Structure 1
Amino acid sequence: MEQSTNISDSTLEGLDQAILRLKTERKVRFQKLKDIVASLFDLWNLMDSTKEERSNFSRITSILRSSESEIVESGALSMEIIQQVSSEVERLTKLKASRMKELVMKKRSELEDICCKTHIEPDPSTAAEKSQAMIDSGLVDPCELLANIEAQISKAKDEALSRKEIMDRIERWLSACDEENWLEDYNQDENRYTAGRGAHINLKRAERARMAVNKIPAIVDNLVNKTLAWENETKKLFLYDGVRLVSILEDYKITRQQREEQKRQFRDQKKLHDMLLTEKEAMFGSKPSPRRSTSFRKANGYRANGNGSVTPSPRRNSVGCATPELLTPRSYSGRQNGYFKEMRRLSTAPLNFVAITKEDVMSFSSVCGSEPESPPQA
């Protein structure tokens, strides 16, 4: 005889209520586990946890990528799983307190690296020494300080992105200045056109350098216009290591004009000098000059052996040289930037285009100083 089964309305109603309670419990556990895992992710990111540490909870985190109704794995929402994640969150929370100072210093270092690359001055309120002192004295919550530094990092990244086009143009300008320095060294080599090992390499590089140097005025003018447009758009000054870039560019243009004028005057004086020597030689005859040294070696990047790929290092003016120094952002970095000490300066070499022998100087002095002497009597 078959066993009777009670399928009355009260039984069905009881089953419906049991299903409803289980669904409600599943929803509560899912939300609780989701909140705990969110805290776990925050602690992982805050403390830069390793992949090995995170892999222990990969199964749990993969479950939460699904919606509540899609979870069908047995024991996925058990109290044991929830307790396991809660214990890990508690452990990391205790560890966070002891490592907070280290985290603050690490984030501050990250901020300084970003600012250094983009030549932005970091916020001094969270300087490493000041932050450490505030944490030790208990005047500030390390979590709040860390959040403040992270906000500064985000702001610095946004500003770096907006400055990228101008920074690229600055690098192009500085590269052209490097080529100009190399070309000046190259032009002082009297044997640059003689056949020798690698001479053709230097000739090709000199041609490229001349093209780059000829573009410098246009590069500077374009950079000024771009910078002013950026300042109008952002309603603030474009600072390069704490100095306004437009001021650096204007100083550079003025100094460059003075330098070109001095070059022109030097060429005029050289022409006059050669003319006077020619007249004296026509009157009294020429005297052979001692053989000039053919060796030429500069420490500023150009080498007469043909190694044209060597990039010149920034130079300083000789003591007493009247040639004005070309001020670039690198010059200002070394002089005025109190935070990043980039002791690199691009300057021009002394205007010594032609080597004048001692005999030439004496001849020039005798021609310019008084009337010519009478020829020696036989």
Structure 2
Amino acid sequence: MVRPVLEELRSKKELQIKEFSKVLFQISQISAEIAGCRPSNEGREQEVNNLTVKKLDQLKSHLQELQNEKILRLQKVTSHISTIHELSVVMSIDFLKMLNGIHPSLGDSSEGMPKSISNDTLARLTEVIHSLKLDKKQRLQKLQELARSLVELWDLMEIPIDEQKDFSHVTSLIPLSVDEVSKQGCLSVDVIEQAEHEVQRLEILKGSKLKDLVFKRQNELEEIYTGVHMDVDSDKAKQILTGLIESGSISLSDLLQSMDDQIRKAKEEALSRKDILDKVEKWHLAAEEENWLDEYERDENRYSALRGAHKNLKRAEKARILVSKIPSIVENLTAKVKAWETENGIPFLYDKVPLLQSLDDFNAQRQQKEEEKRKSREQRRQQEQLAAEQEALFGSKSTTKKPFGQTTNNNSITGTPIGRRVLTPSSRYGSLSAKERRESGRVNKVAPVNYVALQKDDSISGNN
């Protein structure tokens, strides 16, 4: 009766021992993997002496903890390997060689070997990642400095856009942070060396071109000043620049920077003068039209039927409107100039002359011209009045009178006698309106009253 029970207990014991052995083996294997060494059989027999279910449950619980830790460590190893791969791709580093250097199970030579999850492996992976990230940061900073130097040299020497495109992959790194850089090979040693060689080449080229660039900047500065009618001594400025370059007392880069600052200030000053210069242009245009109108009105044949006369008439009408606005134009311009001078604390020069002085001179000349016109009109009026009185008292001195429009030459053209043209209304523009001048032009074709009277007198004397 006891034998079957004993056999059953022995069978259960063997099964329990196998179960314990299996659990202990797995615990030993995972512990060895974590420790980074080979599994050990020490202590396994002592553990087997305790075959209680409680002990087995404790071992299984411990095994489960080790298995979970192994899973986490494998995930860490995989994540570290992925990070190393990304960094290696960006910097063109041999990825497999680096992994083999950490542990053979991680590289290409593992041949089915389980990946090492030991503390040492994880620590070395972490160290390599830190080193690669630091290297990536340093390489990015190096390339960003080289890219900025390239951009500065390109702008300085005005390198064509086509040549700049060869290093666009370098200049595109300027605004990026370390985490944003992920393009394959963009931080490789070859890229850095190419950028360094290009910077060195441009630095050598810069020395031979900077002098030309300095004088080009000076010409640009002079064009800005000339465009806004500001005084600039070109010869003296170029002599100063030549002296600075030859003396070597200032670097050409600093000199160019100084020239750029002067150009920027000149543009700002030119912008502040723009409104006044626009008004000056309008003033000059009105003054030119006034001079043309004076010459036009002195022309006694301006109402003739010559080709283009109607165009001159239209221009004269527009000119009179513009000339009538000259006082308000000058007044507004003067107010603008005074406000500008108050704000800037310096006189507003226009072609080396204070603009206010030019405006005062213009007003004085215009007043003088108007006074001369007034005196001329008064003098002509008195002469015409005197001539009319003399003709009324004494009559014409000619002995032979002919009808109006006829001369002794049969081929001559009828019209106003040449001797009488000075008395036509067209010669007295200053005292007549446009309507009166047009009416005077028509009246000019009618014989004067005193001329008819003289003809009548001659016929009476002939009868006598």
TM-score w.r.t. the length of structure 1 is: 0.72
Residue 32 of structure 1 corresponds to which residue in structure 2? 142
> 1:55-113 CA deviation, whole Å, 9 max, x = no partner?
22123223444433222211101111111111111111111112222111111100000
Q: Select 2:190's aligned residue among 57, 63, 80.
A: 80
- Shift of residue 133, structure 1, vs aligned partner: 3.7
SS of 1:283's equivalent?
helix
Residue 327 of structure 1 corresponds to which residue in structure 2? none
Residue 173 of structure 1 corresponds to which residue in structure 2? 283
Q: Select 2:156's aligned residue among 40, 46, 67.
A: 46
The answer (yes or no) to whether the contact 2:148–2:174 under 8 Å persists in 1 is no
Residue 204 of structure 1 corresponds to which residue in structure 2? 314
- Provide the C-alpha distance between the structure 2 equivalents of 1:191 and 1:122, rounded to a whole number of angstroms: 47
Change (3 A) 1:196 1:229: same
- Shift of residue 52, structure 1, vs aligned partner: 2.4
- Shift of residue 213, structure 1, vs aligned partner: 0.5
1:185 aligns with 2:295: yes
- Shift of residue 145, structure 1, vs aligned partner: 2.9
Number of residue pairs matched by the alignment: 294
The answer (yes or no) to whether the contact 1:224–1:249 under 8 Å persists in 2 is yes
- Provide the C-alpha distance between the structure 2 equivalents of 1:92 and 1:122, rounded to a whole number of angstroms: 33
| Higher helix proportion | 2
- Shift of residue 196, structure 1, vs aligned partner: 4.2
- Provide the C-alpha distance between the structure 1 equivalents of 2:318 and 2:260, rounded to a whole number of angstroms: 45
Residue 219 of structure 1 corresponds to which residue in structure 2? 329
- The 5-angstrom pairing of residues 225-374 of structure 1 reads 225-286=335-396, 291=418
Change (3 A) 1:277 1:125: closer
Higher-Rg structure is 2
1:104 aligns with 2:214: yes
- Provide the C-alpha distance between the structure 1 equivalents of 2:397 and 2:327, rounded to a whole number of angstroms: 44
Change (3 A) 1:45 1:287: farther
1:115 aligns with 2:115: no
Residue 167 of structure 2 corresponds to which residue in structure 1? 57
Give aligned-pair identity as a percent: 45
- Shift of residue 119, structure 1, vs aligned partner: 1.2
Where structure 1 has 5 or more consecutive residues not aligned to the other structure, the ranges are 295-378
What is the alpha-carbon root mean square deviation over aligned residues? 2.5
After TM superposition, the structure 1 stretch with the greater mean CA deviation from structure 2, 215-224 or 276-285, is: 276-285
In structure 2, what residue type is equivalent to 1:281? E
Change (3 A) 1:282 1:114: same
- Larger RCO of the pair (alpha carbons < 8 Å, separation 6+): 1
SS of 2:124's equivalent?
helix
- Provide the C-alpha distance between the structure 2 equivalents of 1:64 and 1:13, rounded to a whole number of angstroms: 33
1:160 aligns with 2:275: no
Where structure 2 has 5 or more consecutive residues not aligned to the other structure, the ranges are 1-110, 399-415, 422-464
> 1:274-326 CA deviation, whole Å, 9 max, x = no partner?
1122222223334689738x9xxxxxxxxxxxxxxxxxxxxxxxxxxxxxxxx
Q: Select 1:93's aligned residue among 203, 209, 212.
A: 203
Change (3 A) 1:119 1:287: farther
TM-score w.r.t. the length of structure 2 is: 0.59
- Provide the C-alpha distance between the structure 1 equivalents of 2:269 and 2:246, rounded to a whole number of angstroms: 32
